[in-house]
Amino acid sequence: MRCVGRRGDSDGAANLSSDRGSEFGQAIAAQLGAFGLDRIKWECEMTTAVDTMDTTSQYRHDLLVEMNDDEQSRQEFVRSLKLFLAHKVSLGNKKVYEERVRPQLQKQGRSESIPEINRLMKKQEYYQFWSSLQRCSQEMMWNSIQIPVERQLDQLIGKAKKAAENPRGSLALDPDLAIPKWQTRVDIHCMPGGYHTELCEDDVAAGAVYDRAVYIYAMGRMGPYNDDIGASAAKWLKERFPDFKPKRILDEGCTVGHSTLAWAEYYPGVEIHAIDVGAPVLRYAHARAEALGVKVHFHQMNAAELKFADGYFDVVSGSILMHETGTKVAPLVLSEAHRVLASGGVMLQAETPPYKDLKPYDAFMLDWDTRNNNEPFWHASHDIDAVKACVKAGFSEKKVFEVLAPSAFESKMSQRYTHVFQSGDFGGGGQWYVYGAWK
Amino acid sequence: MSDVKQPIKLPKKARGSRPYFFDDPAIDKVLAMLMGLIGEVSVMADRVDTLERLLAEKGTLKLAQIEGYRPNSAVSDARDSRRDMMLANVMRIILQNEEDPDNGEPNDPEYMSVVKEAEQT
């Protein structure tokens, strides 16, 4: 079912079964009616093909930074540490909450809201230890990947240039594009320098760091291509709507194109465009796509101010984009998506689940990233009402959907999943929350 | 003027004020150093593992062989398990909260009540 060998835009590997597809109107109604985190569990058909691929390491394409033995081990340690914190340490917070914090809240007549839980939890020593270790693991992760990238930056720039010779796709940078201020004041998820900082001419450092970091951060659970978010959304769309045949797809906030390439895989032959605000990640994304033999047109562009004509796309997709925007910008991203969609097209935004669908403690734990992992819009973005936001952007209420798309990559890796949406356990849920709307 | 090209340095500190979790930030910092130390010990342990495996396989040793060594799935699994045990050993003090009715916090009156009981019975 999934492409397992080297990718190519002509390999036609996305050969999904469509037996569970249905009329889209009925399916939307079914989705809306069935939405609920505990209830939606679609069977994931994993094939023997997945069993034959190496699921335990990142796919080594030409651009991926080289690690010597120590560098490899240092990163593996961070992966083990993160997994350990998620599986063995984080769960102890729940005991603290249930035995100490919740009774106090009840005694004080306080609500089980995120601020109230935080007020008492942050005084608990166990939670202080977990938090301190969690933040530390994030900083260690970036450091462990910067070491080989810094060592090889010249070679990586050379490799990126070489990979982009005689390209199938294209790269259009816009040096005049203003980097949004929420990206320049805080380095999102503690990645030093963020997506946009240019360290030298033709810099690709941010892309090289990010590509490897996502693999370590998700503990390998997004697959050898780090593409599970886009793959899960694309797989869901293709299986549920087998008769939907897009001609052009836009992937927003693409960074190094992890999810972008999944769209190209599930919809072979479709014209794929991808945008981001950061030049170093786009240079890397272009070179990586070329190295993997996938045709994508990359543009340096802000999702809130698209330069594309009205009705140009059949699919507009974002993979964990919305939470890196802001209260004023998020509605613009959605209305711009509506504008550039053709009639009959669809927008999909994949995120972690909104707080309204989580129990108070789980929402509190997921919210940790807002203050502690440099994710300033994380909290507010998890309070976005998908239906209201899409309607405000111009979509019809009847055509808005919220679904949990099962992970396209949960196979023999299942022992690595915690099946919880919690901080520091990215990808551990085994499913992705996707909202969007048909135009 | 030197024509030796200075290597590019990546920024090490993420912009944005860093959160500290303990009342005394020094505890966060010492903990970060401890984790850094565990990480480096883990790196060394992996390197020893690489050396041992290569020595066993070849009977001779060349540096390029170490740098080029990539563990297969079985070796990766074995290393994962060892790291897991190592982490459990280091974090023993907080992991044992699971069994501790005092959740790792001091409870002298409880203990002294046992002393008293021992003394009086």
Residues A314-330, mean pLDDT to the nearest whole number: 95
Q: Do residues A432 and A391 lie in contact, with contact meaning Cβ atoms separated by under 8 Å?
A: no
pLDDT confidence of residue B108: 84
Q: Do residues A395 and A338 lie in contact, with contact meaning Cβ atoms separated by under 8 Å?
A: yes
Per-residue CA distances from A416 to A42, A210, A222, A348, B77 (Å): 19, 22, 11, 27, 12
Q: Is B9 exposed, middle or buried (0-12, 13-18, 19+ CB in 10 A)?
A: exposed
How many whole angstroms separate alpha carbon A171 and alpha carbon A274?
A: 10
Q: Which residue has the higher pLDDT, B48 or A423?
A: B48
> DSSP characters for A71-125?
HHHHHHHHHHHHHHIIIIIHHHHHHHIIIIIHHHHHHHT----HHHHHHHHTT-H
End-to-end Cα separation, chain B, in angstroms: 86
Chain A residues in contact with B19 by the CB 8 A cut-off are 131, 135, 371-372
Residues B35-47, mean pLDDT to the nearest whole number: 91
Decide if B18 and A135 are in contact by the 8 Å CB cutoff.
Answer: yes
Residues A258-278, mean pLDDT to the nearest whole number: 97
CATH superfamily name and code, A1-439: Vaccinia Virus protein VP39 (3.40.50.150)
Helices (H), chain B: 25-58, 63-68, 73-90, 92-95, 108-120
Q: What is the crossing angle of helices A69-84 and B73-90, to 10°?
A: 60
Residues in chain B, how many? 121
Q: Is the pTM of this model over 0.90?
A: no
Residue A410 — left, alpha, or beta (φ > 0 → left; ψ -120 to 50 → alpha)? Answer: beta
pLDDT confidence of residue A415: 52
Decide if A191 and B88 are in contact by the 8 Å CB cutoff.
Answer: no
Decide if A125 and B39 are in contact by the 8 Å CB cutoff.
Answer: no
pLDDT confidence of residue B62: 67
What pLDDT digit, counting tens, does each position of A9-27 carry?
Answer: 333 333 323 333 333 333 4
How many whole angstroms separate alpha carbon A331 and alpha carbon A385?
A: 11
Decide if A374 and B95 are in contact by the 8 Å CB cutoff.
Answer: no
pLDDT confidence of residue A53: 60
Chain B residues in contact with A179 by the CB 8 A cut-off are none
pLDDT confidence of residue A324: 94
- Minimum distance, in Å, between the CA of residue A348 and any CA atom of chain B: 30
Angle subtended at Cα A272 by Cα A267 and Cα A273, rounded to the nearest 5 degrees: 155
**pLDDT over 90 at A116, yes or no:** yes
Q: Do residues B28 and B22 lie in contact, with contact meaning Cβ atoms separated by under 8 Å?
A: yes
Select, from the ranges A32-41, A179-188, A242-251, A430-439, the one with the highest average predicted confidence (pLDDT): A242-251
Q: Do residues A163 and A256 lie in contact, with contact meaning Cβ atoms separated by under 8 Å?
A: no
pLDDT confidence of residue B15: 85
pLDDT confidence band for A184 (50 / 70 / 90): confident
Q: Do residues A189 and A374 lie in contact, with contact meaning Cβ atoms separated by under 8 Å?
A: yes
pLDDT confidence of residue A93: 95
Decide if A92 and B35 are in contact by the 8 Å CB cutoff.
Answer: no
Kindly state the percentage of chain A with pLDDT values over 90.
Answer: 75
pLDDT confidence of residue B2: 53
Which residues neighbour A81 within 8 Å (Cβ) at sequence distance 6 or greater? A133, A137, A140, B35, B39, B83, B87
For B32, the 3-state DSSP assignment is: helix
Q: Which residue has the higher pLDDT, A417 or A316?
A: A316
What pLDDT digit, counting tens, does each position of B81-121 carry?
Answer: 888 888 887 877 788 777 788 888 888 888 888 788 878 87
**pLDDT over 70 at A436, yes or no:** yes
As a whole number, the mean pLDDT across chain A is 86
pLDDT confidence of residue A7: 36
Per-residue CA distances from A251 to A261, A263, A315, A428, B74 (Å): 9, 8, 8, 23, 37
Q: Do residues A285 and A276 lie in contact, with contact meaning Cβ atoms separated by under 8 Å?
A: yes
Of A75, A68, A60, give the one whose Cα is nearest residue B67.
A68
Say which DSSP state A412 is in. G
Other beta carbons less than 10 A from residue A396's beta carbon: 11
**pLDDT over 80 at A40, yes or no:** no
Nearest to B42 among A73, A88, A187 (CB): A73
Q: Do residues A207 and A280 lie in contact, with contact meaning Cβ atoms separated by under 8 Å?
A: yes
pLDDT confidence of residue A46: 32
- Minimum distance, in Å, between the CA of residue B108 and any CA atom of chain A: 17
Of A228, A303, A224, A302, give the one whose Cα is nearest residue A262.
A228
Angle subtended at Cα A66 by Cα A61 and Cα A67, rounded to the nearest 5 degrees: 135
